[in-house]
Amino acid sequence: MLKGGYRTPVERLIDEVAEIKNSTRNIELKNLWENFYSHKDVEKIPITVNWSLSFYAQTLGIDLKAMFSTPQRYLEDMLKILLYRARNFMDDNPLGVMFPGAEAAEITADQQGDLMVYFGPPFEPALFGLEAIFDDKIDPRQGPNPIMKNESDLDDMNYPDFYQSGMMPKVIEFYEEICNIVKGRLEVVFPIFCRGPFSIAWALRGLQNCVVDMYRRPDFFHKMMTFITESRIRWEKERRDISEEK
């Protein structure tokens, strides 16, 4: 039994995050964003500051490769990051809001919450088959080698499978297990598809190739962008269903 009657360090961290989330200052920060985006007080402009995971890895002694190995480890390390940020960054980002001002922006309610399960920038390209690289002190990153080397490669590609492609099996496992651990004390958010179509095209085809395609093979480039866009539409529909289940 730990100090305070907690059985595990994670239980203590969950309560500490929940306490900050419900604090007077945090509620005031949420109101600041709501007033700004609803144009009730446009003179007070919210400001946020954040660092990459590598900063937190060095500062808090987190092994990023281990962090993404199990749901329990991910949850514990992410809670430490949330607490450090809330206690040391005196900016206007409220704890408990993944994207401040989201109601005014184009972010839906199921993308709001306290803790998001997200595997970093390589998450989306991995859905299409690109390698994802994890290191102990460096942020997760996509593999450097494009996989769409010619036009025929696009014809051979299938739309990502929501349950099987890339890191989806692991992501779903993490999401479900973390929801079971927090037991409603914090709101867990399923990963969102953050990267736009051109960002995915650049990852799959290579930036230089994309630029050349736009000039010399515009029909192919539009076909590629259409495929990527439709892939995201299909993925988002599946995400909506799994989020509503929770």
- Per-residue pLDDT of 76-107, as tens digits, reads 999 999 999 999 988 888 887 655 544 434 44
**What is the mean pLDDT of the segment spanning 117-136?**
95
Q: Is residue 129 part of a domain?
A: no
The Cβ of residue 145 has, within 10 Å, a number of other Cβ atoms equal to: 9
Instruction: Please count the structural domains in the chain.
Output: 2
Name the domain boundary from 85, 104, 123.
104
Q: Is residue 113 part of a domain?
A: no
185 has a pLDDT exceeding 50: yes
Higher-confidence residue: 2 or 12?
12
- ∠ CA 228-233-179, rounded to 5°: 115
Name the domain boundary from 104, 125, 160.
104
Q: What is the pLDDT of residue 224?
A: 98
245 has a pLDDT exceeding 80: no
Q: Is residue 187 part of a domain?
A: yes
Q: What is the mean pLDDT of the chain?
A: 89
Q: What is the pTM of this model?
A: 0.88
Q: What is the pLDDT of residue 2?
A: 63
153/157 Cα distance (integer angstroms) = 7
Instruction: Report the run of H or E that residue 178 belongs to, with start and end.
Output: helix 168-182
- Domain residues for the domain of 172 are 135-245
Confidence band for 158, pLDDT divided at 50, 70 and 90:
very high
Confidence band for 110, pLDDT divided at 50, 70 and 90:
low
Cα→Cα distances 218→81, 222, 225, 228, Å = 44, 6, 10, 15
126/24 Cα distance (integer angstroms) = 41
User: Nearest 5°: phi and psi at 189?
Assistant: -110, 130
Q: What share of the chain in percent tops pLDDT 70? A: 89
